[in-house]
Structure 1
Amino acid sequence: MNKQTFLAELKSNLEELRKEGVTSPHVLHNVLSETAMKNLSGLWKDSKKAHLGKRRACYFSMEFLIGRSIFNNLLCLGIYSDVEKAFAEAGFSLNDLEAAEDAALGNGGLGRLAACFLDSAATLNLPLDGYGIRYKYGLFKQKIENGFQTEEADNWTKYGDAWSVRHDEDAVEINYSDQKVLAVPYDIPIIGYGAKNIGTLRLWQSEAFEDFDFKLFNDQKYLEASREKVLAEDISRVLYPNDDTREGKKLRLKQQYFFCSASLNDIIKKHKKNHGDIKTLADFVTIQLNDTHPVISIPEIIRLLTQNEGLTFDEAFAMAKKIFNYTNHTIMPEALEKWDESLIKELLPEIYDIIFMINEEYLAEMYRKDIKKESIEVMKIIKGGQVHMANMATYCSSYVNGVAQIHTEILKANTLHDWYTVYPERFQNKTNGITQRRWLALCNRELSALITELLGNEDWVTNLDELKKLTGYADNADIINRFLAIKKTKKEQLAKFILDREGIKIDPDSIFDIQIKRLHEYKRQLLNAFSILWLYFGIKDGSIKDLAPVTFIFGAKSAPGYRRAKAIIKFINEIAAMIEKDDEVNKIIKVVFVSNYNVSYAEKLIAAAEVSEQISTAGTEASGTGNMKLMANGAVTLGTLDGANIEIVEEAGKENNYIFGATVKELEKIMPEYCSRKLAADNEKIRRVIETLVDGTFDDGGSGDFRELYTSLLDGASWHEPDNYYLLGDLESYVEAKLKCNSDYKDKAAFGRKMWLNMCNCGKFSSDRTIADYAENIWKIK
């Protein structure tokens, strides 16, 4: 990309808009993006050719939470300041573009990780490309009404999609037993920092072969006339449609097969064009399955190779085992996907037949290896009337990896133990990471400028380990004061943003204690809420004194059908309202649940945070990546020894973070005898907090949801034991850690030193390191 040519075109386009009196952020965004895309086209074309000419990796993911592209792309192209200046000279502000697109094509860490990985691979000049779904509405826009979450469609392409290019020539026909649709690809450029390499994220959109039946319309059957169009577009309409009915499950399975089949067809077509012999496919292509969602790819590639390319089943199966690798993101049984045999037979009968053959191959191999019958039963792909996708992924992959040291060890010792016993050489650990381009250089330009000044260069933007050289400044009062002043600036910016967006005023001089992540019971937002109530009652009864003012900020979306998660959101907002009305407490504690938490909101929250809440039950969070983003921006971790928290503490020091709660090994001993009801009966403070769910303190709108939360903690439910995530058991330890953190904060210099050392030691958690590891030890790409 020629910088001078681009800037000349941009200035000319902006001048034209100025003369026309155009001020719309969306028009400005599209003009800037289209000018950039025009000037990038040559480099992108060359990068695509280079990727296809050598061995490349393909990342299959149900989610790519890319967020807003414009600012990150300007940063990676090295033209952010130039564009900012050009906008100002034309009478515009680059900041106005924050009103533009924010592609919410993911739900949380899984999708954001995929986006970070593509960014890192492009920056490292590695041939990695992504494949997923181009959802029309993405997740959803969240509103908070009377404390409850409500959802509405998020039409992220309403004003256009300047960063995507449609490729009709690569459209693929996808067949189900009851439907035929067209998968049409849209390519998004993933620009490496320094713009030497551009990766491609190919997202598939589902369309009907015939949009409209004119005869039916002419017969005045108006709805029927567009029926095929609606049914086809439903497949790529929404991320994670509610699946509590068979029809919902059917749509989810259609989604998964849709993008996997389209992507595999695309890969095979390009391989044959560039390399000819289909039998060399495994030499040139490796595919990473991001969790179990894309595992339907395994039988599908066998179908394509046998039906279309003339390979035998044995040849195709051997090739599949070389091509695929599987990343496990969770040990949660409910997230290890299982599909009813009857559903697959109904929708994809040919795929079911291949899965049956794979299962037969598995059984034959296990008997040849003389594996115990008990283990064979555990590892079966088809059992109990269901197809176990994690088992199929583990059996049919070259490598299986966890995403943090503790997570990988749990996989080997428990979740996939039988598999590990049979195939120990397949298992690797790949601790997750985050891209420092978006999550430090872009979202915290003030801190980035200080880092660059002290290091004397910008090498850290592509080598985050460079930050370790700054540890010597931890005892330099002037530097720590500058660092704290920057943090104060980011807090003031966030306070203004929250006031403008939510209408809520927060105090930038208070501690910003932040928990931002997907709303799920194991992430324990409810534990955080209970701890705030503990502090509230302590202030009221005088047992807690001299608490430093603190603002607790939550950001999270609940799945639309997740009743308990929605109840937790309502409960947090009830606590916020109660405290706000209490003049004795509201100057000390503030609770804010921000609405429609997304990537762009996260950029502001993460830069402003001082305390990072990472409080999942030990052994439940595979890794976490929010913890890494917050650490890189200088927040201390208040959390359990779970996921990547363990490695964060190893890097930055336990003395610079606040760790609480039972460990994995301790929970193994505790949980069999644990009685949450007895604990609540014996501990007055715990009882007082949990009773607020049912004693009339708070109003759940007559839904009965708070009582259901209460019952789940004390009596359990048909599918789990009482307090199965150990909220009440960890509560007292958690409050103690919270109070210690609050007390330490009063010594600003000492607390600033802790935050500084967290930032300095975040180098391990760059996704550049993760991707380099994948490239060398799993994908074998250069």
Structure 2
Amino acid sequence: MSTADNRLDEERTRTGLSKDALNRAFLDNLFYIQGRSLEVATDNNLYQAAAYTVRDRMLERWIKSARIYKDQSARTVCYLSAEFLLGPHLANNMINLGITEVAREVAEELGLDFERIIESEEEPGLGNGGLGRLAACYMDSLATTQIPAIGYGIRYEFGIFDQVIVDGWQVEKGDTWLRNGNPWEIMRPKLAFPVGFGGYSEAYTDEHGVPRQRWRPNLVVNGVAYDTAIMGYGVTNVNLLRLWKSEAPESFNFGAFNVGDYYGAVHAKIEAETISKVLYPNDEPVAGKELRLKQQFFFVSCSLQDMIRLELRHTGHLERFHHKYAIQLNDTHPSLAVAELMRLLLDDHLMTWDQAWEITRNSCHFTNHTLLPEALETWSVELFECLLPRHLEIIYEINRRFLDEVRVHFLGDDERVARMSLIDEQGGRRVRMAHLAAVGSKAINGVAELHTELLKSTVMKDFNDLWPERFHNVTNGVTPRRFIVASNPELAALITETCGNDRWVQDLECLRDLEPHAEDHALQQRWREVKTNAKRKLSNWLGERTGFAPDPETLFDVQAKRFHEYKRQHLNLLHIVWLYEQIKQRPNIDLTPRTFIFGGKAAPGYFMAKLMIKLINAVGEVINTDPQVNGYLRVLFMPDFNVKNGQRLYPAADLSEQISLAGKEASGTGNMKFSMNGALTIGTLDGANIEIRDEVGHENFFLFGMTAAEVQQQQAAGYEPWELYQRDEQLRAAVDLISSGLFSHGDTELFRPLTENLIHSDPFMVLADFNDYRERQQEVDHAYKDRHHWNRMSILNTTRMGKFSSDRSIKEYAERIWQVTPMSADLSSPF
């Protein structure tokens, strides 16, 4: 064979999508990278070989995309997020490349278990929940909609903790997701930026006689880039996710070692690496708060320095930086980008204040994700002075100029000036990060219609009064590639067959083509079979891990989300306890058998949330072993809820619990994932529930509870949960049954904090909504008995979810906020 033929054969092996090319590449990667043959390969060896095989096919697209974006001077979205909860890569990337079935055939011919290889992937737990999962969906959609983009975040060595349940309690274990390596990332050791902390700021006069400031930090760490390719579906565009790892500039101090100071010899390395060691430490102690602020500044500084490097390399100047980059701040965690970009432009690149502010204000855009006061980040001025003294000076100057603008616009309104200040002077001076992001951004957006309206009328009302043109709504969305195609391949195949094409995967509005078939009894039967198969798979999985395998013929009633009191898992549980008592009192009661499944993690320091997990498991222990009841009810807790386990759960759910107190949930995205997979929703008029209900049809949604306005009225009038408890006999019986010790082996004190909080405080108004919730659950019970009607509602829920694709969300950001146009990465062009 000639040299040219050899090169051609190698190219086909590295980039070809045929079965032969994939077969050869897989075996090559197993042997040359893993050093294994098929006969001795472990599951991880096989997974790694498969991952490298898929990644090889993304590299050419990735490099050409970057080249085209650069040559065309494409305006680029830089998505700054402290979390990217990506989920497993392998199955998703095969879907986006269009090689899933071919890869399956290769595995079968080699005698390998395709699903087992997929299952072997360790999930990168780089996020706590919805915020990080949203960022991952948006990265998928940015590539799919052909928007040039870079995601920037932190490469946490230890991600969100692994959750195990011991005696009903949550126990946290370290997430060692990197222990077997990560084949999807490419380390860029030469791409490292210095990041300072502490020290002091000093004044000087530059060579032109202009007064300047410079920062003299007393600690400097390096941020080293690790790159991951993000492949779009049905396109050749590949975008970049760049995560930063913190390292010491010098890993080993020989001077300290030579005098016997062995700890001092590696102290700098330990201190530097701590910054990117673990995702979001418990921020109760001062040390935790300090580390979290360090993490936020670290990734923001690295990311901005990288953008500046790219712009200088391309144009040689920064005057049009804001025309090149649209920086999206995903919540308040990256808010320091405003102050850091100002510092870099003022101190390092010697711009005037007005030049730097013009660039900063037109580069940054801010997404607010919460209305909860405790979630609106603030940092003590004292901590800022200690860690970021130069940035505090810049924030003071931003604030001085901003408040002058407020005083002119609202003459004599000193209270408004105090409310809008970047510095909260009440009860210890603190920097308000949401205010910094709002003042330094061109656009501010909420994440659901209700959330945005409440944002404008409550926590950011003053800013909306000043700059109404800056406020936008972009309702969240999720990617159908992962949450239907990867999670529920049987449903995806049925939809494609019924619609006659798979256009819906890239344009979810095409699911409407399914709607005319909703009354078709044959489709309904197949739809039910797909759902039952998903329930059977989940049941087997739960049986292996919990000891209880629920009956797939029962109604699967699911609440899976982060444990927080405002999400009201205790409302769900009160209903279960009420049902339990009803069955005990009336053994021949006519009830639809149900399996209640809970999933989610509680923050390690959140006592009430962890106690709720214990109560769920305790109630399950009693119900599941009571022969008088367990024919009707089962209660299970899904351990270690994450993206991977969510992909098992969403397809299997019949009923989706979205029961937060109205006005508290910004959007929710789990509600979208469940509905896309044909689950019906029981929920309040909160977050994106409102828009989901409007889309799927009010008759296909089980609505209960107060509206946000009614919640405010109740609270203003003086909410008295004790009176509700005394007045409502059925409610009181459910609460008292928990207090009695029945679910705690006679211990009447264990769950007292939960019951006392409900009776005497109830900040999220569980008792106020209980009766309405219970009545709606009875409607669910009756509806499920009519399978024809339920199947129709299920089909219509899926069919009408087109609005909630993250592709739609990204298109709205691109058109209304970023002013970015799609750009095709045409592979036919030469390198």
Compute the TM-score of the two structures, normalised by the length of structure 2. Answer: 0.91
Correspondence 1:173 to 2:194: yes
Asked if the contact 1:9/1:35 (under 8 Å) is kept, the reply is no
Correspondence 1:669 to 2:713: yes
CA drift of 1:440 comes to 0.5
Correspondence 1:69 to 2:69: no
Runs of 4+ in structure 1 over 6 Å off: 700-703
SS of the residue corresponding to residue 172 of structure 2 reads strand
**Could you tell me which residue of structure 1 aligns to residue 792 of structure 2?**
753
The total of aligned residue pairs comes to 776
Shift in alpha-carbon separation, 1:456–1:702, aligned structure 2, 3 A: same
**Could you tell me which residue of structure 2 aligns to residue 743 of structure 1?**
782
SS of the residue corresponding to residue 319 of structure 2 reads helix
Identity %: 41
Describe how 1:476-495 pairs up with structure 2 within 5 A: 476-495=520-539
SS of the residue corresponding to residue 417 of structure 2 reads helix
**Could you tell me which residue of structure 2 aligns to residue 119 of structure 1?**
140
Asked if the contact 1:440/1:633 (under 8 Å) is kept, the reply is yes
Correspondence 1:163 to 2:184: yes
**Could you tell me which residue of structure 2 aligns to residue 374 of structure 1?**
415
CA drift of 1:19 comes to 4.7
Asked if the contact 1:25/1:100 (under 8 Å) is kept, the reply is no
Aligned pair partner of 2:273 in 213, 222, 233 = 233
Q: Distance in 1 between matches of 2:242 and 2:30?
A: 34
Q: Distance in 2 between matches of 1:749 and 1:605?
A: 23
Q: Distance in 1 between matches of 2:452 and 2:396?
A: 29
Q: Distance in 2 between matches of 1:268 and 1:55?
A: 14
Asked if the contact 1:18/1:90 (under 8 Å) is kept, the reply is no
Q: Distance in 2 between matches of 1:218 and 1:528?
A: 63
Shift in alpha-carbon separation, 1:668–1:31, aligned structure 2, 3 A: same
CA shift digits 1:106-160 (9 cap, x unpaired)? 1111100000001011011111221000011111101000000000111101111
Q: Distance in 2 between matches of 1:15 and 1:205?
A: 28
Asked if the contact 1:65/1:115 (under 8 Å) is kept, the reply is yes
CA drift of 1:395 comes to 1.4
Describe how 1:36-435 pairs up with structure 2 within 5 A: 36-52=54-70, 53-97=73-117, 98-177=119-198, 178-217=218-257, 221-371=261-411, 372-384=413-425, 385-435=429-479
CA shift digits 1:707-756 (9 cap, x unpaired)? 222232233xxxxxx11101111111111111210121011111011111
Asked if the contact 1:15/1:90 (under 8 Å) is kept, the reply is no
CA drift of 1:531 comes to 1.0
Of 466-475 and 614-623, deviating more is 466-475
Q: Distance in 2 between matches of 1:700 and 1:398?
A: 58
Of 679-688 and 331-340, deviating more is 679-688
Correspondence 1:768 to 2:812: no
Q: Distance in 1 between matches of 2:50 and 2:793?
A: 41
SS of the residue corresponding to residue 125 of structure 1 reads coil
SS of the residue corresponding to residue 180 of structure 1 reads strand
Describe how 1:693-708 pairs up with structure 2 within 5 A: 693-699=738-744, 706-708=751-753
Correspondence 1:731 to 2:770: yes
Shift in alpha-carbon separation, 1:701–1:279, aligned structure 2, 3 A: farther
CA drift of 1:504 comes to 2.3
Of 448-457 and 30-39, deviating more is 30-39
Q: Distance in 2 between matches of 1:345 and 1:498?
A: 51
**Could you tell me which residue of structure 2 aligns to residue 571 of structure 1?**
615
CA drift of 1:169 comes to 1.7
Q: Distance in 2 between matches of 1:305 and 1:6?
A: 50
Structure 2 unaligned residues grouped into runs of 5+: 1-14, 199-217, 822-831
**Could you tell me which residue of structure 2 aligns to residue 448 of structure 1?**
492
CA drift of 1:703 comes to 11
Matched to 1:375, the amino acid is R
Aligned pair partner of 2:652 in 596, 608, 628 = 608
Matched to 2:44, the amino acid is H
Q: Distance in 2 between matches of 1:479 and 1:366?
A: 61
Asked if the contact 1:60/1:287 (under 8 Å) is kept, the reply is yes
Q: Distance in 2 between matches of 1:431 and 1:543?
A: 46
CA shift digits 1:243-274 (9 cap, x unpaired)? 11111100000000000000000011001111
Q: Distance in 2 between matches of 1:529 and 1:161?
A: 40
Shift in alpha-carbon separation, 1:582–1:293, aligned structure 2, 3 A: same
Asked if the contact 2:26/2:50 (under 8 Å) is kept, the reply is no
SS of the residue corresponding to residue 278 of structure 1 reads coil
**Could you tell me which residue of structure 2 aligns to residue 680 of structure 1?**
725
Q: Distance in 1 between matches of 2:306 and 2:741?
A: 59
**Could you tell me which residue of structure 2 aligns to residue 561 of structure 1?**
605
SS of the residue corresponding to residue 282 of structure 1 reads helix
**Could you tell me which residue of structure 2 aligns to residue 719 of structure 1?**
none
Q: CA RMSD in A?
A: 1.7
**Could you tell me which residue of structure 2 aligns to residue 647 of structure 1?**
691
CA shift digits 1:578-627 (9 cap, x unpaired)? 11121100111011111111101000100111101100000100110000
Asked if the contact 1:133/1:259 (under 8 Å) is kept, the reply is yes
CA drift of 1:223 comes to 3.7
Shift in alpha-carbon separation, 1:335–1:704, aligned structure 2, 3 A: farther
Asked if the contact 1:240/1:252 (under 8 Å) is kept, the reply is yes
Q: Distance in 2 between matches of 1:598 and 1:18?
A: 31
**Could you tell me which residue of structure 2 aligns to residue 718 of structure 1?**
none
Q: Distance in 1 between matches of 2:424 and 2:588?
A: 55
**Could you tell me which residue of structure 1 aligns to residue 43 of structure 2?**
25
Shift in alpha-carbon separation, 1:310–1:11, aligned structure 2, 3 A: closer
Asked if the contact 2:566/2:660 (under 8 Å) is kept, the reply is yes
CA drift of 1:685 comes to 1.6
Aligned pair partner of 2:589 in 545, 565, 579 = 545
CA drift of 1:275 comes to 2.1
CA drift of 1:47 comes to 1.3
Matched to 1:126, the amino acid is I
CA shift digits 1:75-129 (9 cap, x unpaired)? 0000011111111111111211212211111111110000000101101111122
Asked if the contact 1:183/1:207 (under 8 Å) is kept, the reply is yes
Asked if the contact 1:340/1:386 (under 8 Å) is kept, the reply is yes
Asked if the contact 2:30/2:45 (under 8 Å) is kept, the reply is no
Structure with the greater alpha carbon radius of gyration: 2
CA drift of 1:543 comes to 8.9
Q: Distance in 1 between matches of 2:238 and 2:503?
A: 20
Q: Distance in 2 between matches of 1:561 and 1:685?
A: 33
Correspondence 1:2 to 2:2: no
Asked if the contact 1:168/1:185 (under 8 Å) is kept, the reply is yes
Q: Distance in 2 between matches of 1:189 and 1:256?
A: 23
Asked if the contact 2:234/2:506 (under 8 Å) is kept, the reply is no
**Could you tell me which residue of structure 2 aligns to residue 34 of structure 1?**
52
Asked if the contact 2:54/2:90 (under 8 Å) is kept, the reply is no
Of 218-227 and 700-709, deviating more is 700-709
CA drift of 1:544 comes to 8.5
Asked if the contact 1:173/1:183 (under 8 Å) is kept, the reply is yes
SS of the residue corresponding to residue 171 of structure 1 reads strand
Correspondence 1:623 to 2:673: no
Matched to 1:449, the amino acid is A
Of 483-492 and 671-680, deviating more is 671-680
CA drift of 1:503 comes to 2.9
Q: Distance in 2 between matches of 1:210 and 1:139?
A: 29
SS of the residue corresponding to residue 152 of structure 2 reads strand
Asked if the contact 2:54/2:93 (under 8 Å) is kept, the reply is no
Q: Distance in 2 between matches of 1:713 and 1:769?
A: 40
Q: Distance in 1 between matches of 2:46 and 2:26?
A: 12
